Structure 1
């Protein structure tokens, strides 16, 4: 069963074993985030609910149950902005605290191979400044970092984008001035 709360009339969701295995394999980070108490949005495709009746306090009470076909999870902050890492959460929190204007591009927003973690919208002399958080040091990740760096340097120019090498420096650099 998937535990959902505060949904009066929402059917119980039965999670078949194969769907649970796919969920654990595809969304292990989001499941860990949920277990740590973070907000996680769930999108579930289900069969139509089936309603049956149960005797509760000598009265027939309807009970609905639906089988999950597929499911996806997405970690979000309390403002429902999706996150890919705790470092991104720290950047978003600081942007919010400083009342900066920004957007959070999502993978499905476009067809670009490179998209920023955030885009700062309140910078002088330009309508957007990409922001990137580099949080790992694996060989594959470092290769991807080179691709992103080359893209930002070519697209925006040297020094016209912000980044934080969180894997090497725990202190986040200051944001560009408004």
Structure 2
């Protein structure tokens, strides 16, 4: 949560109190990592529970074609993690297919989770020594 607060002015018991002026909420996991869905929260919590090193990309870097939900950084080659949770959306499905082709062309390792399949069924690559 991000809140803009102000201190009240005036006389009496309300003077000097704080009042929320504006408020914004962001979905986060148990370690306050920003997530876009409850499925991403579950994946982030799993990665932390398994003590994996990873990052949550927030924007495309120059030259990037994809923005994975997470990226394992403890593997010999960085591994993308995609959580595909909006399967009823035609535009989303088209982008999913496009991302899969991009990962295949670049030989980028990618782990996919397609809920409602159990998160435990997702096999993560072993961390490099």
TM-score (normalizing by structure 2) = 0.78
For the residues of structure 1 that align with 2:13 and 2:124, how far apart are their CA atoms?
61
Question: Cα gap change, 1:99/1:65 in structure 2, threshold over 3 Å: closer, same or farther?
Answer: closer
For the residues of structure 1 that align with 2:53 and 2:21, how far apart are their CA atoms?
42
For the residues of structure 2 that align with 1:88 and 1:75, how far apart are their CA atoms?
10
Deviation at 1:100, TM superposition (A): 0.7
Q: Which runs of 5 or more structure 2 residues have no equivalent in the other structure?
A: none
1:45-82 Cα distance to aligned partner (Å, 9 max, x none): x7x755222248xxxx43355744xx542111221101
Instruction: Say yes or no: does 1:148 pair with 2:88.
Output: no
Q: Segments of 4+ in structure 1 off by > 6 A?
A: none
1:3-53 Cα distance to aligned partner (Å, 9 max, x none): xxxxxxxxxxxxxxxxxxxxxxxxxxxxxxxxxxxxxx2254x7x755222
Structure with higher Rg: it is 1
Question: Which residue pairs with 1:15 in the alignment?
Answer: none
* Cα RMSD after superposing both structures: 2.6
Q: Which runs of 5 or more structure 1 residues have no equivalent in the other structure?
A: 1-40
Q: How many aligned residue pairs are there?
A: 124
Cα contact 1:54–1:62 (8 A) shared by 2: no
TM-score (normalizing by structure 1) = 0.59
For the residues of structure 1 that align with 2:38 and 2:90, how far apart are their CA atoms?
21
Deviation at 1:170, TM superposition (A): 3.1
SS at 2:40 equivalent: helix
